[in-house]
Amino acid sequence: MSGETSTNSGTVIANSSSHQPFHGGGFYDAFLVKLYDNCLNQTITVNSGSICAGQSFTMVPTGASNYTYSSGSAIVTPSVNTSYSVIGTSTSGCAASNTAISTVTVNAKPILTINSGSICSGKSFTLMPSGASTYTYSSGTNVVSPLINTSYSVTGTSTSGCVGSNTAVSTITVNAIPTLSVNSGGICAGQSFTMVPSGAATYTYSSGSNVVTPSSSSSYSVYGKALNGCQAINPAISSVTVNALPNINIAGNNEICLGETTKIKATGASSYTWNTGATTASISVQPTSTVIYTVTGMDQTNCTKSQTIEVTVSPCTTLDESIEKQVIRFYPNPNLGKFVLELPDYHQSTITIYNYLGQLIYEEAAEEQMQIDLSTYANGMYTLLINKSNKELKTIKIIKQ
């Protein structure tokens, strides 16, 4: 019959032109009308959402009893943003009046990168990952202080909540700090000392240079840096002892007659070397003309100092030549103001001393051995005269220093 529709509950007579059911009257007609209206009013909805790449999304539609998915299943795993259609039917077989659309947004998983590097032992390193929004460190924090070469792993999560597709690894190389050493030693006053450090590649000196010339005993700090750039924690200390030079004095007669022999003695050192080649503390000389004798003395610290004495030779042809030829000893000269004068023939002799202005500052009767003290007078040149019977026999130049 034209206009009939078959359902699970029977036959509904409908007017094909007006889409209104044909009422046959009674309870059965009312049921058919209600069933027709429910099919027309059936509407379905479905959820949308987002996932991280590689994850699955479950569509959960409502409004019908049975659903058909354009994806073939309610569970989908799209690789890009995708929309899926869902249609539904009721238990009576009526199709829903609409098609529901589920839109699934696919968020990319972050790709992590992180820095690696090197530190000096005892220093810290800051891990600086990128690619995500928040990070989790295997070390518990992004600031690490490893004692040996160490690797740290870092995972990250994006703002959309996606966990990174990889674990970033930071490798930290720990470079050793150099341990320094440097030589110490002793020098003689006026000499230089060379510091020779070891343990590093480059060095810096508190003195500005590794060659020093201290005037007194001193200590110097040496800082070092290895090729890897690590600076030594503590400086090496070089101690330089400055030993004073020996105080060399020469005693002896510095004026003799031609043909006489005089003895010159040096004091103040442990060993001596004369310009004559002698290596004894005292030497006996018989110059035929004025000669300067030089002695170099060395003490127990191997420091040396030189001193000279000039021995003047006179012909001694005066009336008192027999007296003049007597050995007169005068030492030390130069001196600090105190010296000894020995006169073998002192009888009826007088000793006078004049300053550089010609002023008489000392006069005494001669003795066989005299200890004269001019320490209260100024440093400089003085003239000592030996007179006998009011006649000048000998002149000696005194150097007070």
Q: Is residue 82 part of a domain?
A: yes
Give the pLDDT of residue 326.
57
Q: Is residue 112 part of a domain?
A: no
Q: Is residue 202 part of a domain?
A: yes
CA angle (350 as vertex; 345, 356 as ends), nearest 5? 125
Q: Is residue 381 part of a domain?
A: yes
Answer yes or no: do 199 and 69 share one domain.
Answer: no
For residue 57, how far is the Cα from the chain centroid? Answer: 60
Beta partners for 52? Answer: 107
pLDDT at 302 over 70: yes
Q: Is residue 355 part of a domain?
A: yes
Q: Is residue 180 part of a domain?
A: no
Average pLDDT, the chain: 87
Residues 7 and 59: their CA atoms lie apart, in Å, by 30
Confidence of residue 34 (pLDDT cuts 50, 70, 90): low
Answer yes or no: do 149 and 275 share one domain.
Answer: no
- Any idea what DSSP says for residue 12? E
Q: Is residue 277 part of a domain?
A: yes
Which of 88-97, 127-136, 323-332 is predicted with the least confidence, judged by mean pLDDT? 323-332
Answer yes or no: do 238 and 255 share one domain.
Answer: no
E runs forming strands in 290-379 = 291-298, 304-314, 329-331, 338-342, 349-354, 360-365, 369-373
pLDDT at 30 over 60: no
Answer yes or no: do 287 and 350 share one domain.
Answer: yes
Q: What are phi and psi of 83, to 5 degrees?
A: -110, 140
Give the pLDDT of residue 53.
95
Residue 392: give its domain's CATH number.
2.60.40.10
- Per-residue pLDDT reduced to its tens digit, 112-125: 999 999 999 999 99
Which of residues 175, 195, 218 is at a domain's end?
175
Give the pLDDT of residue 356.
82
What is the arithmetic mean of pLDDT over 180-206? 97
Residues 45 and 86: their CA atoms lie apart, in Å, by 8
Q: Are 172 and 150 in contact (CB under 8 A)?
A: yes
Answer yes or no: do 204 and 311 share one domain.
Answer: no
Answer yes or no: do 64 and 191 share one domain.
Answer: no
Give the pLDDT of residue 38.
55
Give the pLDDT of residue 283.
94
Give the pLDDT of residue 324.
47
- Per-residue pLDDT reduced to its tens digit, 240-291: 999 999 999 998 888 888 888 889 999 999 999 999 999 999 999 999 899 9
Owning domain of residue 76:
49-107
Answer yes or no: do 354 and 388 share one domain.
Answer: yes
Q: What is the dihedral of CA 334, 335, 336, 339, to 10 degrees?
A: -150
Q: Is residue 226 part of a domain?
A: yes
Answer yes or no: do 227 and 349 share one domain.
Answer: no
Answer yes or no: do 279 and 192 share one domain.
Answer: no
Confidence of residue 330 (pLDDT cuts 50, 70, 90): confident
Which of residues 129, 149, 175 is at a domain's end?
175
pTM > 0.85: yes or no: no
Count: domains in the chain: 5
Give the pLDDT of residue 315.
76
* Max CA pair span of the chain: 191
Answer yes or no: do 216 and 278 share one domain.
Answer: no
Confidence of residue 317 (pLDDT cuts 50, 70, 90): low
Which of residues 243, 259, 287 is at a domain's end?
243
Answer yes or no: do 390 and 276 share one domain.
Answer: yes
Answer yes or no: do 263 and 189 share one domain.
Answer: no
